[in-house]
Chain A
Amino acid sequence: MTEKTVVPFQGTPEQEAQLKEVIAKHHDQPGGLMPTLQEAQGIYGYLPIEVQRMIADGLGMSLSEVYGVATFYSQFSLTPKGKHKISVCLGTACYVKGSDKILEAVEAKLGIKSGECTADGKFSIDSCRCVGACGLAPVMLVDEDVYGKLTPEQVGKILDKYDD
């Protein structure tokens, strides 16, 4: 992974209090690290090293263990995402119907690559493996909205809707 500009950590005391509750909830649960990380990402939107450190201290494990798990799973992100998260499905059903071309059209439109975030923090692009809407292939998600049966030329108009 290439290191990009580090966004300074801007956690609030409210978030920290929430995180402490989460840690307390999973402290004695066998295998509680994964659910803690999942909920922590829900609070902060991503898992910066500061948050990982609080989790390690809270659960009484080493930071390297926490970091090891956080970097193993693709769902966990160590960098912040855009205000609008674009996710293009590259599952097999979508791929054979040309979702790679959808991804390229999104990348061309925003001038960034998959896995990156635009400089203004508005959009980030990711690819995912199957959201289960194979009947609508090829599929793209913008935040919670699902766009199906896409063609590359529709991409521009869809993204314009979110350019607020």
Chain B
Amino acid sequence: MTIEQLNEIKAKRADIVKVRTIIREEGEKLAKETAYRKQILVCGGTGCTSSGSMKILEALNEELKATGIQDEILVVRTGCFGLCSLGPIVIVYPEGAFYAQATVEGIKRIVDEHLVKGEICKDLLYKETVHEDGSIISLYETNFYKKQKRIALRNCGVIDPENIEEYIATEGYQALYKVLDSMTPDQVAQEVLDSGLRGRGGAGFPTGRKWMFTKDAPGDVKYVACNADEGDPGAFMDRSILEGDPHAIIEAMTIAAYTVGANQGYVYVRAEYPVAVHRLSIALQQARDYGLLGKNIFGKGFDFDIEIRLGAGAFVCGEETALLTSIEGNRGEPRPRPPFPAVKGLFGKPTLLNNVETYSNIAQIIRNGAAWYASMGTEKSKGTKVFALGGKITNVGLVEIPMGTTLREIVEEIGGGIPNGKKFKAAQTGGPSGGCIPAQYIDTPIDYESLSALGSMMGSGGLIVMDEDNCMVDVSKFYLNFTVDESCGKCTPCRIGTRKLYQLLEKITDGKGEMKDLDTIDELANHMKSSSLCALGQSAPNPVLSTLQYFKDEYIAHIEGKCCPSGVCKNLLQYNIIADKCKGCTLCARNCPAKAITGTVKQPHVIDQSKCIKCGVCISNCKFGAIIKK
């Protein structure tokens, strides 16, 4: 591959891809200059695939053939658009018509009415994109997208991740050429450092500094690795980037390898992400076929290749030393640092390890310059951050915002607020290592420093919203249960500390807690923080400490009042049928998954407390308000 060939591919495809990024007249005009009158994008991310987007794609192709317009219309299977709760998602360009929760019947209408006759099926559009007067707006103009700044996610939901030419069309591999052609390793590392980019895996270490350490470490053989072992349950940005824009990671790793002097790279990815693994494998093969990976890249005498290694379900492998140990084929146990991986990493050699989202910013920093990147964000946290919005929020999905955006903007504007008229209680960031941000701090601008100051952390970017129905003691117990499971067992403070902490929380949610337990929790938590070997143990107490700081009243209600104010903790709850109100309709008994309700028709029913699993199905089914929870 030469730069001329690369530019030729880019020129051939650029306009086609560009139609998907601009709107209205401009887009319509450009579309006329391409071979396709319209383009129809179907989301092939994990979220939409789970809700059936592949069946939609099949039906779409059949219908296009049946109507005989298949040559005028370009069908693109993209990565994640971000609005997972509205899946399966279908978008038609150049109008930018955003069809939500598409169905097989719906797609036939979209082909017949929209693609053939040019009449948009307004009743199938995402309601926020249709105004009262019937005019439609593009997805990019909705509240969900407006405040976002998509850099790491720029190609997700735009290009076909299984076609390298679509990536090349969006300036792909230009940064790699620039680096190999005209930059020294020192210059590259300096550029990354100047951009202010910090590790997006959670710790926030300056990326450029890491690159310099590895570059300067003595040794002939060095490695570059990518951490795609996204373990925080509820965070899925790394997966979406691998699924939606895998070449961005390949290009960035190649740039990193040139900088530090490595010829072999590894991507360590969760085996639970089959789609991501599949797309990455295709991308790697295409990059090799195009001469963008392998021997003598761009004829500049630089060799580099990448191998995929699958994780096998161990959260601790997100920790850098544990991850490298796992690639070596061992139990993924962390080891003490120093020596840091930059000095002694994979197979004992200097190793650069960055997270997926970190890598996804690199090529753009090289192309647009450090100053461009550093112009976004806050004083100490530059650029953007991707968050996975989940939990009790209307727009569940992926969002990318400039650092410094407030939590209120994320939850209320981008996220569309809390469903069912409930009240915002807290947002949890940083997963099992993080903490909660309570409602009184909703106007906090999000960056590394402000989150740490509140006792939480940036983490990998999971942002779980909780409403008044979530019990904070139960939530911290949930996280501790997770860390008990995932502690690797190597060091005592973590192995035994997490279990003891869990038992104390269980005692409280069982209604057997004593006030002195809170002091024990505090003492134990601080010991774990100071003496655990790796970040898993050091940060495992954070969810407890943070909820204890902001929601101590809930702990006290469980201990002294023997009640769970949010009605979650089962051992403090009982469901009962009020005999006077029960009409004996049998609906509750028929729907009870535990067969805990008995009674004859037209006679009051009874709940067998020993069988009741307190799932609440009966209450939601009872039409007479005869069942109470207390």
Contacts and interface: CB of A to CB of B under 8 A. Distances in A.
A12 to B, nearest CB: 25
B47 A136 contact: yes
A75 B312 contact: yes
Nearest to B475: A96
B390 A74 contact: no
B621 interface: yes
B397 A92 contact: no
A34 B84 contact: no
Contact of A134 (B47, B272, B593): B47
A44 interface: no
Contacts of B86: 135
Interface in B18-61: 46-47, 50-51
Contact of B396 (A73, A76, A137, A155): A137
B621 A137 contact: no
A69 B333 CA distance: 10
A83 interface: no
Interface in A78-124: 90-93, 95-97, 101, 104-105, 108-109
Given A34-B329, A96-B464, A153-B591, A136 B234 contact: no
Nearest to A144: B274
A151 B311 CA distance: 31
B46 A38 contact: no
A92 B234 contact: yes
Interface centre among B272, B273, B390 (most CB of A within 10 A): B390
Contacts of A139: 50
Given A72-B488, A104-B613, A131 B46 contact: yes
Contacts of B309: 31, 34-35
A95 B470 CA distance: 10
Nearest to B273: A132
B593 A155 contact: yes
Nearest to A105: B593
A53 to B, nearest CB: 17
Contacts of A142: none
A134 B312 contact: no
B420 to A, nearest CB: 12
Contacts of B231: 129
B218 interface: no
B249 to A, nearest CB: 17
A130 B392 contact: no
Contact of A31 (B315, B328, B613, B615): B328
Nearest to B84: A135
Given A74-B314, A75-B271, A155-B593, A92 B50 contact: no
Contact of B615 (A72, A97, A152): A152
B126 interface: no
A33 B593 contact: no
A47 to B, nearest CB: 11
Given A105-B615, A148-B51, A30 B236 contact: no
B621 A133 contact: no
A101 B594 CA distance: 11
Nearest to A32: B329
B70 interface: no
A24 interface: no
B574 to A, nearest CB: 16
A91 B234 contact: yes
A80 B482 CA distance: 24
B100 to A, nearest CB: 11
Contacts of B388: 93, 134
A155 B392 CA distance: 22
A38 B312 contact: yes
Interface string B303-341: 000000111111100000000001111111100000000
Interface string B156-170: 000000000000000
Interface string B232-252: 111110010000000000000
Nearest to A147: B50
Nearest to B593: A105
Given A30-B329, A152-B615, A93 B593 contact: no
Contacts of A156: 593
A160 to B, nearest CB: 12
Given A96-B475, A101-B615, A153-B591, A134 B84 contact: yes
Given A33-B329, A69-B331, 11 more contacts: A30-B329, A73-B312, A74-B314, A75-B311, A90-B233, A92-B232, A96-B390, A97-B391, A129-B313, A137-B391, A139-B50
Q: 7 smallest A-B Cβ distances: which pairs?
A: A135-B84, A91-B233, A93-B390, A73-B312, A31-B329, A92-B234, A74-B313
23 contacts: A31-B328, A68-B331, A69-B329, A72-B331, A73-B313, A92-B232, A92-B234, A92-B431, A92-B462, A93-B396, A96-B466, A105-B593, A108-B594, A108-B595, A128-B272, A129-B315, A130-B233, A134-B47, A134-B234, A152-B615, A152-B617, A153-B593, A156-B593
Interface of A: 30-35, 37-38, 68-69, 72-76, 90-93, 95-97, 101, 104-105, 108-109, 128-137, 139, 146, 148, 151-153, 155-156
